[in-house]
Amino acid sequence: MLLNIVGLGCSCIGLILLLTGALTDFWVVSFGSDLFHVGLWQNCTKNICTKVTESGYVNATRGLVIFSTSLLVFGMIFSCLAFIKFHVGRITACLASATLESLSAVFLLIGMSIYTAETSYKVLNSSFNYQWSFYLCWTANVLLIISGVSHILAHQSSPNPGYEPV
């Protein structure tokens, strides 16, 4: 039961961090003469924001973050079902939750890696720096991994469904 609570708690906090990081525009910031900050959806300078027009890596990152968020929401639903001992055959809600949250972490990791690889030249060769929105998504990824592991451990510690204890 404790592992389910830890898993659900990490999932909830991870979802909040993931949504906050993905929807804000402080992924990369330049603190030069004009404050310039970039997110997945818009670029802002001097309080004037424009839509991000870059394709390729930004669109890939957006898609992977959205897909990761969707998997996380379904994982959280199964995590809630684990409290009522829901199962289909030998597949428990904990196992389904662990699988979905682990896949969510993998897709988020791939998306964040793509973004990091494509923007690292800006950070290394100019006044740009990664900022809090970017780090929130990386922190969310760590929480998703913890959540997946705790649900796997909860699944292993629960009795096998469909068998009566002797």
Q: Convert 23-90 into a string of H (helix), E (strand) and C (coil).
A: HCCCCEEECCCCCEEECCCEEEECCEEEECCCCCHHHHHHHHHHHHHHHHHHHHHHHHHHHHCCEECC
**pTM: predicted TM-score of the whole model, two decimal places:** 0.88
Domains and CATH numbers, the chain: 2-11+25-157 (1.20.140.150)
Residues of the chain with pLDDT under 50: none
pLDDT for position 53: 79
Give the pLDDT of residue 77: 95
pLDDT at position 8 is 94
User: What is the model's pLDDT at position 150?
Assistant: 94
